[in-house]
Amino acid sequence: MYRFQAGRAVQCAQSWLRTELDLAVKEGAKFIVVLGRNAQSWVQQQMSDEVRNRGIPLIHPSGQNAAVWARTQVKGEKIRVRHEQLIAETGESVRKILEFAGFDYSATNEGDKSRTV
């Protein structure tokens, strides 16, 4: 009888993901969207420079991250600062995607310093 072993499942999943990411780079992917801190950490530790250099980190759209935007327990300055951090991180990721796509966003931002992307 087969017994499920979580360690083997994780190894299998990681092997599959490595293969997929390497194939994406080999086939010419300009960027790879990496959702969440765990995935970002894994890519940084496990993947080649070729894959890491194409990684664009974005906030994972989980319920926990959505809750950060709606929390009422954290008020005032603390929540404003956290929202600004999340917006800045997302803006930086979007800027990288646009650069990979060949879009020169700097020309559209001249004279308008209020735009983050």
Reply yes or no on whether the pLDDT at 106 is more than 50. Answer: yes
Which of residues 105 and 113 earns the better pLDDT score?
Answer: 105
pTM above 0.75, yes or no: no
> Which of 23-27, 34-38, 43-47 has the lowest average pLDDT?
34-38
Helices (H) and strands (E) in the chain, counts: 6, 2
pLDDT at 115: 44
> Alpha-carbon distance 103 to 92, whole Å?
14
CA nearest 25: which of 44, 2, 51, 1? 51
Which residue shows structure tokens 């930086």?
Answer: 92
Reply yes or no on whether the pLDDT at 52 is more than 80. Answer: yes
Which of residues 53 and 61 earns the better pLDDT score?
Answer: 53
CA nearest 52: which of 86, 81, 29? 29
Which of residues 44 and 70 earns the better pLDDT score?
Answer: 44
- Both tokens of 44, joined, read 């940084």
Q: For residue 58, what are the β-bridge partners?
A: 35
pLDDT at 66: 61
Which residue shows structure tokens 């993947």?
Answer: 47
- Domain regions of the chain by residue span: 6-109
CA nearest 38: which of 10, 57, 22? 57
Reply yes or no on whether the pLDDT at 42 is more than 80. Answer: yes
Q: Amino acid identity, residue 28?
A: G
Residue 87 phi/psi, 5-degree rounding, is -65, -45
pLDDT at 113: 45
